[in-house]
């Protein structure tokens, strides 16, 4: 009898050791899979960055420097809209003149690298999210997979809408305000921004707005996990408004209240949309609980 028990004990130990080995291999396999997802993501990023660098002159003239020109589409559209409403030149912005200077030998080259890298991230963003999704997908349950369907589309859509909002609306207001702001009346101050400063500003505006517009997606994920709910967001709405105002002040490089308001209003709308999304998630959870009961 003791011999049989000893054999069973040995078999249990061997089985446990085997399971431990399998879990260890499984962990290594996960690391290997993560490595290849990262490699593919970096390759996609580098390919798009190189493509932008090849056409860097066209990209700079027609995309990067465009909001600093008075012929930019936003200036013309606002002025045309003002005339159609019979408001005269009320919505027409003053002419923009932003001459850029460099104070380092490597300035133009490093700026081209910066434009290419940031542009590569923006263009390859859906693919990068897709690679992240492919890594996470095997760990999801059937129910989680069902809820997460279409997430790549919505994450990418929110990011691109935010980036477009920053580029076409916020950047022109910011550059127009900063370019026409004067200090003193003697003409001692001459507005001559550096190339690096201009590129950093427009990059921060586009990426900042792109990330900020992911608020509904974050709310959906946190509501699914159970960290937040619609009543919770409603309870702390007034504090959220203060945070949004602070965030809009951080995203907008200019102290102009108009630019900050342009950012704050969409974020407030997105916050209210997040409450609606969380309410729908809460309703789904309640229906599921009733089903199980």
Tens digit of each residue's pLDDT (9 = 90 or more) over 114-153: 999 999 999 999 999 999 888 888 777 777 677 777 788 9
Label residue 104 left, alpha or beta by phi (over 0 means left) and psi (-120 to 50 means alpha). Answer: beta
Label residue 228 left, alpha or beta by phi (over 0 means left) and psi (-120 to 50 means alpha). Answer: beta
Domain boundaries, the chain: 2-213
pLDDT in tens, 177-210: 777 777 777 777 777 788 988 998 899 889 988 9
Structure tokens at 88: 């005269």
């Amino acid at each position: 009898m003791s011999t049989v028990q000893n054999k069973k004990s040995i078999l249990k130990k061997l089985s446990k050791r085997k399971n431990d080995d399998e879990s260890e291999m499984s962990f290594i396999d996960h690391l290997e899979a993560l490595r290849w997802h990262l490699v593919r993501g970096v390759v996609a990023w580098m390919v798009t960055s190189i493509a932008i660098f090849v056409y860097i002159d066209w990209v700079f003239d027609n995309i990067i420097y465009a909001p600093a020109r008075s012929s930019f589409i936003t200036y013309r559209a606002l002025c045309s809209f003002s005339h159609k409403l019979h408001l005269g030149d009320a919505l027409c912005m003053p002419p923009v003149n932003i001459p850029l200077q460099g104070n380092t030998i490597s300035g133009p080259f490093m700026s081209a690298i910066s434009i290419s890298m940031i542009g590569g991230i923006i263009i390859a963003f859906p693919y990068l999210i897709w690679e992240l999704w492919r890594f996470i997908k095997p760990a999801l349950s059937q129910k989680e997979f069902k809820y997460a369907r279409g997430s790549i589309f919505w994450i990418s859509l929110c990011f691109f809408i935010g980036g477009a909002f920053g580029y076409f609306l916020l950047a022109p207001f910011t550059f127009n305000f900063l370019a026409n702001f004067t200090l003193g009346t003697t003409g001692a101050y001459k507005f001559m921004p550096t190339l690096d400063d201009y590129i950093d500003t427009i990059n921060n505006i586009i990426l900042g707005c792109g990330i900020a517009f992911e608020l509904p997606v974050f709310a959906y994920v946190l509501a699914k996990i159970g960290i937040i709910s619609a009543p919770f967001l409603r309870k702390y709405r007034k504090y959220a408004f203060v945070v949004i105002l602070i965030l809009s002040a951080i995203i907008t490089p200019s102290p102009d209240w108009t630019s900050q308001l342009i950012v704050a209003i969409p974020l407030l709308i997105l916050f209210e949309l997040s409450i609606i999304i969380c309410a729908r998630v809460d309703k789904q959870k309640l229906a599921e609980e009733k089903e199980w009961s």
